[in-house]
Amino acid sequence: MSQVLAMGAYGFYVWTAVAVFFIVLLIDTLAPLARRRRNLRELRARIARQENRRRPGTSPSNESNP
Amino acid sequence: MANWVPLWLHRLGSPPVFYRFAGAVRPWALGLALVLGLVALYGGLFIAPADYQQGDAYRIIFIHVPSAWMSLFIYGAMAVAAFIGLVWRIKIAEVVAMESAPVGAAFTFITLVTGSLWGKPMWGTWWTWDARLTSELVLLFIYLGVIGLYHSFEDRRQGARAASFLVLVGAVNVPIVHFSVNWWNTLHQGSTVRLLGPSHIEASMLWPLLTMMAATKLYYIASLFARVRADLIASEGGKGWVRDLLAGPTGNDPA
């Protein structure tokens, strides 16, 4: 088994290439999921701010609606 | 063409429809990509025989070549989406083009690093200013330029339009990367797998390569869809459908 994993004398190069492949794609998979959650959180906070501004006595016209 | 095809594409151009479609497709594409990728690596690293010249070092091909194919394929997909976005001003096309760039950059980076790891034992150097290597490095810089330009504008759509122009201009580099091994005298070997004519590879080495190609294509779909969904939440934040999403029964993490 260890002979197979050694890849001749090239184990370092082969396994580093495999590791780079998986690490880069793992980061690429997780980053957009985190970004989506962050965007949802920010949007929720923005809506909450707009709700607060809508309290009585406040004119709704100063509400920004991008 | 059947009538429902353009109708379906037209509906898919609507952000809420695309958001739901992407959310439904993404986990399946990612799961299938993972299964196919592991099968391909098992076949490439353990089942396929060693190369008669390069020994076991050639096994990097099962990562390097599919990644290199994707670095060019994603650029092509990005250029088509950028063109559609520029001409017809379809928002989803702009977002697809812009969110393709990071995935393409990731595969280009993998191609360069694994190529370097292959070059050291076989050529005796990590890097050389060879036509193929240099044009692939330029490809990475174009991807990074597209990402940077997109994010340098306050207005997302303005940024997408400017970066889409850069995508179309940078497309000249794609045939240069592909044909560099034929046009110039280079250290990099020529194509092993050819669409036209016989491939210079044994079947036991070919199937893991093609399986990995399918896996990386599916991975691109999964990653792109996740990115488009994240992008749409921000860029469509003021729209009713995103607000409904937040107010929905699964308000904590809407699907």
Kindly provide the ipTM of the predicted complex, given to two decimals: 0.90
The answer to the question of residue A9 being in a domain is yes
User: What's the whole-number average pLDDT of chain B?
Assistant: 91
Whose tokens are 């880069």? That residue is: A24
Look at B8 and B79; give whichever has higher pLDDT: B79
Cα–Cα distance measured from residue B99 to residue B223, given in angstroms and rounded to the nearest whole number: 9
Categorize the per-residue pLDDT at B7 as very low, low, confident or very high, splitting at 50, 70 and 90. confident
pLDDT in tens, B200-252: 888 888 999 999 999 999 999 999 999 999 999 999 988 889 988 888 655 45
Beta strands in A1-66 (DSSP E): none
Nearest to B190 by CA among B201, B198, B205, B179: B179
- What the block records as the tokens of A60 is 């709704």
Predicted TM-score (pTM) of the model is 0.91
- What the block records as the tokens of B179 is 């044909």
Chain B residue nearest residue A12, CA to CA: B117
Categorize the per-residue pLDDT at B126 as very low, low, confident or very high, splitting at 50, 70 and 90. very high
Measure Cα distances from A50 to A61, B6, B60, B85, B236 in Å: 11, 40, 54, 32, 17
Other beta carbons within 10 angstroms of residue B102's beta carbon come to 20
pLDDT in tens, B189-205: 888 887 767 778 888 88
Domain with A8, as residue range(s), is: 2-53
- Say whether A14 and B229 touch across the interface (CB within 8 A): no
Q: Is B254 on the interface with A (CB under 8 A)?
A: yes
Q: Is B123 on the interface with A (CB under 8 A)?
A: no
The answer to the question of residue A64 being in a domain is no
Q: B8 to chain A, minimum CA–CA distance in Å?
A: 26
- What the block records as the tokens of B83 is 């063109």
Average of per-residue pLDDT across B44-52: 90
Q: B237 to chain A, minimum CA–CA distance in Å?
A: 7
Q: A56 to chain B, minimum CA–CA distance in Å?
A: 23
Using N-to-C axis directions, what is the helix angle for B156-170 and B91-123, rounded to 10°? 50
Question: Does residue A50 surpass a pLDDT of 90?
Answer: no
With an 8 Å Cβ cutoff, the interface of chain A facing chain B consists of 4, 7-11, 13-14, 16-18, 20-21, 24-25, 27-29, 31-33, 35-37, 39-40, 42-44, 46-47, 65-66
* Across B23-27, B42-46, B149-153, B199-203, least confident range: B199-203
- Choose among A4, A28, A44: nearest Cβ to B46: A4
Is-contact B189 B196, C-beta < 8 A?
no
The answer to the question of residue A58 being in a domain is no
The answer to the question of residue A30 being in a domain is yes
Q: ∠B15-B19-B20 over CA atoms, to 5°?
A: 125
Q: What type of residue is A7?
A: M
Instruction: Determine the pLDDT at residue A51.
Output: 85
Q: A26 to chain B, minimum CA–CA distance in Å?
A: 10
Average of per-residue pLDDT across B14-36: 96
Instruction: Specify the number of domains making up chain A.
Output: 1
Phi, psi of A49 (to 5 degrees): -65, -40
Chain A residue nearest residue B64, CA to CA: A17
- Say whether A28 and B238 touch across the interface (CB within 8 A): no
Nearest to B123 by CA among B49, B186, B50, B192: B186
Q: A63 to chain B, minimum CA–CA distance in Å?
A: 12
Interface of B with A in 176-205 (CB under 8 A): none
The answer to the question of residue A18 being in a domain is yes
pLDDT in tens, B49-105: 888 888 899 999 999 999 999 999 999 999 999 999 999 999 999 999 999 999 999
Average of per-residue pLDDT across B156-182: 94
Average of per-residue pLDDT across A24-35: 96
Categorize the per-residue pLDDT at A8 as very low, low, confident or very high, splitting at 50, 70 and 90. confident
- Choose among B57, B114, B237: nearest Cβ to A21: B114
Cα–Cα distance measured from residue B40 to residue B78, given in angstroms and rounded to the nearest whole number: 26
The answer to the question of residue A39 being in a domain is yes
Categorize the per-residue pLDDT at B184 as very low, low, confident or very high, splitting at 50, 70 and 90. confident
Measure Cα distances from A23 to A27, A30, B64 in Å: 6, 11, 14
Q: Is B222 on the interface with A (CB under 8 A)?
A: yes
- Say whether B41 and A32 touch across the interface (CB within 8 A): no
- Say whether A43 and B246 touch across the interface (CB within 8 A): yes
Is-contact B11 B221, C-beta < 8 A?
no
